[in-house]
A and B are shown apart, each in its own frame.
Chain A
Amino acid sequence: MHLEFKVEGGDFSNAGSASSQIKRVLKQLNIDPSVIKRVVVALYEAEVNIVAHAYRGRIDAYISSSGIVLKLEDEGPGIPDVGKAMTKGFSTASKEVREMGFGAGMGLPNISDNSDVFTIDTIVGKGTSLNIEIKFR
């Protein structure tokens, strides 16, 4: 199954709607709740990162019987130093983002923690792509 979603930068009122819809689909498929939590926590962090740090993006979710593959591609500033961005506590979030409850610098490390495969491809001045894979058992 392939699902796709568009994400708008800065649109905090809709941030999480893709994660919410994917959560519903996984529940209907009777996936183990602890696995669903890992998937939606990783996806939600990645979705909020597009809203918080990029201009716009898209999410493609590929669900099979063995697991889920999530591809998030955005047009945005890119990440100049991925190693630094992956460090707990590092954040460039704006005041507006912090007011929404984000900007702790914990999102990327937590995505990594919750996924079986996690890769970041980024070009400064162009955008960022994430690949997140989680097996169902």
Chain B
Amino acid sequence: MKISEICSLIDGVVVIGDSRLDDEVEYAFASDLMSDVLTVKIQNFILLTGLCNIQSVRTAEMSDVPYMIVCRNKQVTPDMLEIAEESNIVIICTQYSLFRCAGVLYTNGLKPVY
């Protein structure tokens, strides 16, 4: 699924990485527990999370996660943007809940990691 398509399905706004709207991603994983995310063995999935702080972006960096969705309209801070920029991470913000994002994206064909 294209990043642009994901954005339109969840009414999302790209806060960093808008040059990569045409990128394709196949798998998704949703969690607020960073150690849970760090157990995912594949690379190249999109992370759905309600956790909006420097450690959620750090976790994406360490896990080679190139895309993340921050749910429920939380404020992405400048230090988060800095890490995202350095590590080439696209951050999408949406007002939808984690549950709703996961439901919509699953129904439209994004695959679960497990």
Q: Chain A residues in contact with chain B, CB under 8 A? A: 12-13, 15-16, 19-20, 23, 33-34, 37, 40-41, 44-45, 48, 100-107, 110, 113
Selecting from B10-18, B56-64, B66-74, B101-109, the interface stretch reads B56-64
**B residues 45-91 with Cβ under 8 Å of A?**
51, 53-56, 58-59, 61-64, 79, 83
Q: Chain B residues in contact with chain A, CB under 8 A? A: 32-36, 38-39, 43, 51, 53-56, 58-59, 61-64, 79, 83
Give the nearest-CB partner of B38 in chain A.
A41
Chain A residues with CB below 8 A from B63, complex form: 37, 41
Q: How far is the CB of B85 from chain A (nearest CB, A)?
A: 13
Q: With A16-B61, A33-B64 as known contacts, state yes or no: A101 contacts B38, CB within 8 Å.
A: no
Contact A13 B38 (CB under 8 A): no
Q: How far is the CB of A68 from chain B (nearest CB, A)?
A: 15
Among B34, B43, B55, B56, which residue has its beta carbon within 8 angstroms of that of A34? B43
The dominant DSSP class at the A interface is helix
Q: How far is the CB of B102 from chain A (nearest CB, A)?
A: 17
Among A13, A15, A19, A106, which residue has its beta carbon within 8 angstroms of that of B39? A106
Contact B64 A102 (CB under 8 A): no
Give the nearest-CB partner of A19 in chain B.
B62
Contact A101 B64 (CB under 8 A): no
Q: In the bound complex, what is the Cα–Cα distance between A8 and B54 (angstroms)?
A: 16
Q: How far is the CB of A32 from chain B (nearest CB, A)?
A: 11
Q: In the bound complex, what is the Cα–Cα distance between A59 and B32 (angstroms)?
A: 27
Q: With A33-B64, A106-B36, A110-B35 as known contacts, state yes or no: A44 contacts B58, CB within 8 Å.
A: yes
Chain A residues with CB below 8 A from B53, complex form: 12, 100-101
Q: With A106-B35, A106-B39 as known contacts, state yes or no: A41 contacts B55, CB within 8 Å.
A: no
Chain B residues with CB below 8 A from A40, complex form: 62
Q: In the bound complex, what is the Cα–Cα distance between A100 and B55 (angstroms)?
A: 7
Contact A44 B54 (CB under 8 A): no
Chain B residues with CB below 8 A from A101, complex form: 32-34, 51, 53, 55-56, 59
Chain A residues with CB below 8 A from B61, complex form: 16, 20, 23
Chain B residues with CB below 8 A from A110, complex form: 35, 38-39
Q: How far is the CB of A109 from chain B (nearest CB, A)?
A: 9
Q: How far is the CB of A1 from chain B (nearest CB, A)?
A: 20
Contact A41 B62 (CB under 8 A): yes
Q: In the bound complex, what is the Cα–Cα distance between A107 and B62 (angstroms)?
A: 14
